[in-house]
Amino acid sequence: MTTNEELLIGLLSISDRAAQGVYEDQGIPALQQWFGAALSSPWCSATRLIADDQASIERTLIELVDELGCHLVLTTGGTGPAPRDVTPEATLAVADKVLPGFGEEMRRISLNFVPTAILSRQLAVVRGKALILNLPGQPKSIRETLEGVRAADGSLLVSGIFAAVPYCLDLIGGPYVETVDTIVSAFRPKSAQRPKPAA
């Protein structure tokens, strides 16, 4: 069990070849590294690596949320138009609510880099008190999607989707999550902000 203040993140990498050991999964290590840099509040993770199979994805999402109690679940892989890409279908099958804005923004961010971003079917849903996000599979794309688009001088041009995640977790009953502003600055209305702990 986690304490009320500790964020439990489910990291689910979905890939036939990585699950078979053909190549090493890159999605989960990239996410763990990113969260290690981006979060200033306590967190821990539960990781899973499975093949592109809708029933398996659904079972794993339900396990991470309902049994382990993850507050946030991020998937990587399986969001394109190919026949084996069924992550969005599995995610929708376990959803209580759909949050279309996340998918729209992920595609908008990725379009700054590749025109094929419009082929992505990434989305976000709420199941119980958990937020589930479908992310890209490549580490560079994962970082850009979460963190945003920066100019050559490091200034932020387009906010990443994670800026909205902490407040979303507040609204659905999750723990209060704080970020490292130089990586990603969480946005909350003033009425929802808590004083920063003393250094």
Q: How far, in Å, CA of 157 to CA of 60, rounded?
A: 35
Mean pLDDT calculated for residue range 50-77: 96
Grouping H, G, I as helix, E, B as strand and the rest as coil, residue 40 is coil
Q: What does the pLDDT average to over 27-45? A: 95
Q: Do 175 and 5 contact (CB within 8 A), yes or no?
A: yes
pLDDT at 35 over 50: yes
CATH of segment(s) 7-192: 3.40.980.10
Phi, psi of 50 (to 5 degrees): -135, 165
Does residue 184 sit in helix, strand or coil? coil
The reported pTM is: 0.93
Domain limits, the chain: 7-192
pLDDT at 2: 38
Tell me how far CA of residue 26 lies from CA of 65, 125, 140, 174, in angstroms: 23, 24, 10, 27
Question: pLDDT tens digits, residue range 108-160?
Answer: 999 988 999 999 999 999 999 999 999 988 889 999 999 998 888 888 888 89
Calculate mean pLDDT across residues 173-199: 89
Residue 83: what pLDDT? 93
* pLDDT band for position 199 (cuts 50, 70, 90): low
User: Over the chain, what is the mean pLDDT?
Assistant: 92
Q: 3-29, pLDDT tens digit by residue?
A: 447 999 999 999 877 767 667 788 899
